[in-house]
Structure formats: structure tokens, C-alpha cells
């Protein structure tokens, strides 16, 4: 790819350093920055935290800030499937911008604080939403 001078990544996977206060991370967990100045990431552990990407690997919580890193899918084109944190999904959710659930592995189908996940499909039988980052 010599014609693409300056190309750093061909797929949106980036390694980020972890905050020591994060819970253990599983593949597919939603991740967020700990704050505007630290530069570390952590697993989403509260409703309506801004999702910066999704973990692509399992990683144990580090003993100190930056003591471990995680590969993150930062793409806005990747689609993930998550259950509703409460209630039932409906076809009317398709196209809605919603929040991640408090556990980082569900969708708050009533949450619109950050509204950083767009519903691109639903499975009403499984009560799940297909979402991508807005």
C-alpha cells in the first residue's frame, strides 16, 4: 500500500491502556474513557456512559493505571448485538439513538442521555438490539 502514505491502520482496531479501577474486561464489552484528561479506558459500569468502542479481547483489571492494554474496535460500522437492560424491544426502536446499559453489555432502550448507539435492527423473540456507534 505504498500509495497510501501516512496510513496507520486499515481496520479500526486500536490498543488503549486500561485504568486500574476497571473491572475485568470480556470480549464485546463496551468501553469508555475514564475522564477527559487521563487517557485511560475502562469497562462501562454506569448507565449512559459514552461508548468509545468495544473490547476485542479478554483482559484482567491491571494493578495500576496503564498496567495492561486492550485491543478496541473503534469502528462506527461494526454492529453488535445486546439484550435490552429492561423491558421489551420493538421494531419501533430501529433508527433510534440510545444509551448503553449500566453493565456495558446491554442497551438502555429508554435511555437517550448520550444516545451514542444507533439501533440498526431488532430481534423481538430474543429481545435484543443490533447496534452500532453513532
**Cβ 57 vs Cβ 41: under 8 Å:** no
What pLDDT score does 100 carry? 95
CA distance 70 to 59: 7
* Confidence (pTM): 0.88
Residue numbers in the chain where pLDDT is lower than 50: 1-2
CA angle 65, 71, 75 (to 5 degrees): 120
**How confident is the model over 66-104, as pLDDT tens digits?**
999 999 999 998 899 999 999 999 999 999 999 999 999
Ramachandran class of 27: left when φ > 0, alpha when ψ lies in -120 to 50, beta otherwise: beta
Amino acid at each position: 500500500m505504498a500509495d497510501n502514505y501516512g496510513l496507520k491502520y486499515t481496520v479500526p482496531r486500536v490498543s488503549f491502556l486500561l485504568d486500574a479501577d476497571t473491572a475485568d474486561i470480556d470480549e464485546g464489552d463496551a468501553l469508555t474513557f475514564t475522564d477527559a484528561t487521563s487517557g485511560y479506558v475502562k469497562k462501562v459500569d454506569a448507565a449512559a456512559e459514552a461508548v468509545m468502542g468495544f473490547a476485542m479481547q479478554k483482559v484482567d483489571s491491571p494493578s495500576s493505571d496503564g498496567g495492561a492494554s486492550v485491543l478496541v474496535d473503534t469502528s462506527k460500522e461494526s454492529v453488535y448485538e445486546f439484550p435490552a437492560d429492561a423491558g421489551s424491544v420493538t421494531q419501533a426502536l430501529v433508527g433510534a439513538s440510545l444509551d448503553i446499559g449500566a453493565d456495558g453489555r446491554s442497551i438502555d432502550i429508554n435511555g437517550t442521555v448520550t444516545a451514542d448507539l444507533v439501533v440498526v435492527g431488532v430481534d423481538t423473540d430474543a429481545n435484543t438490539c443490533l447496534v452500532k456507534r453513532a
